[in-house]
Amino acid sequence: MESIDTFIDQLPKAELHLHLVGSASVPTVLELARRHSSDAGGAGGVVPRTEAELAAFFEFRDFPHFADVYHAVSALIREPADVAELVTGAARDLAGQNVRYAELTVTPYTWTSAGMPAAGITEALDIGADAARREHGVRIGYVFDIASELGGEAATATLDHALSCPPEALTGFGLAGIEQARPAFRDVFREVFAAAIAAGLHSVPHAGEMSGPETIWEALTGLRAERIGHGISCLDDPALVAYLRERQVPLEVCPTSNVCTRQVPDLASHPLPRLLADGLFVTLNSDDPPMFGTTLTQEYRRVASVLGLDRGQLVSLALNGVRASFLDREAKHALIEEISEVASGLRPAEDVSAETSA
């Protein structure tokens, strides 16, 4: 039998929780920072311009500090061509990890509020998705999200963008950022999510990453979430665990991210094994990989080596990523077959495929 690393490399994958700005490679961030270094007081003067300094910049004290760094990097994106370049760069990195499909989270308000035209962003996202599939064989779906701390104006502007000039691959509507800021904007968030859902978009908010189960309950009941980004604090509420298990609501779990933003003390303490033991629907994701020093492939390796997941569990995580995705039925079936072929050395392919029939 081949090594676990080889097995993981060969395993076809889907990535459901990946932020576009957070996918920017270190060379890309450095190039953008150098390009804008003359901007007095701008992000180019905040983001470091050497690799060593950037590595230190990506060491986070807590989630609010991470949010500040993320916004600084996002502010380096000044024109639609930068957006398209991020998409194709992400696709190139994903293709190298045998990722067949990714849902990229985009926060367009951070750019439209700085003067970039919404139509230009949409065109760039379309160009990027087309190039990703043509040049790298990676299908892209987009999720438009709102940074919670930016409040009602960001929410309504993001909804307007999603409804008036959406990219062709727009599939979801999300809510991220600092969860503790949400109660003040609860009503407007509920309103924009209801409108997005009515327009055919899927509800995929972050919740339960840096706050307790009440944020997850609000995502489920107030925002009608189909998937939950992170969701790890659900374990603090047995009734919520039972609800998630009964309805098999997918959780987009990002272990290294949770360590880097100080939501868990270390990887060995991550609750992923408990989530699985409780029968919850878990997918594995990388979140903002260069910022956290990881990749989706590395996440698979780390949960195997540090958390003790076996090959069968890795296959199940890969299958869950496909099952929870918003790919069309035919594409899902094809990707499931690819995973089955790789897993066939572990157990019969038909047994793997059967897991997806529910």
The length of the chain in residues reads 358
Residues 296, 13: contact at Cβ < 8 Å?
A: yes
Query: Which two structure tokens, joined as six digits, stand for 309?
Result: 């997941």
How many other C-beta atoms lie within 10 A of the C-beta of residue 186? 12
Residue type, 116: M
* Pairing, β 251-253 against β 282-284: parallel
**Max CA pair span of the chain:** 61
209 has catalytic annotation: yes
Which residues are CB-contacts of 183 (< 8 A; sequence separation ≥ 6)? none
Element (H, E) at 113: none
Q: Using H for helix, E for strand and C for coil, what is the string for 145-212?
A: EEEHHHHHHHHHHHHHHHHHCCCCCEEEEEEECCHHHHHHHHHHHHHHHHHHHHCCCEECCEECCCCC
The active-site residue out of 15, 209, 218, 252 is 209
Q: How far apart are CA 315 and CA 260, in angstroms?
A: 26
Residue 205 has phi, psi (to 5 degrees) of -75, 150
Q: How far apart are CA 194 and CA 223, in angstroms?
A: 7
Q: Is the dihedral of CA 93, 97, 100, 105 positive or negative?
A: negative
Residue keyed to tokens 């043509």? 134
49-62 burial, b at 16+ Cβ within 10 Å, e below that, comes to: beeeebeebbebee
Which residues are CB-contacts of 246 (< 8 A; sequence separation ≥ 6)? none
DSSP structural state of residue 265: S
Q: How far apart are CA 244 and CA 239, in angstroms?
A: 9
Side by side, which strands form the sheet with 170-176? 13-19, 99-106, 139-147, 170-176, 202-203
- Where in the sequence numbering do the catalytic residues fall? 209
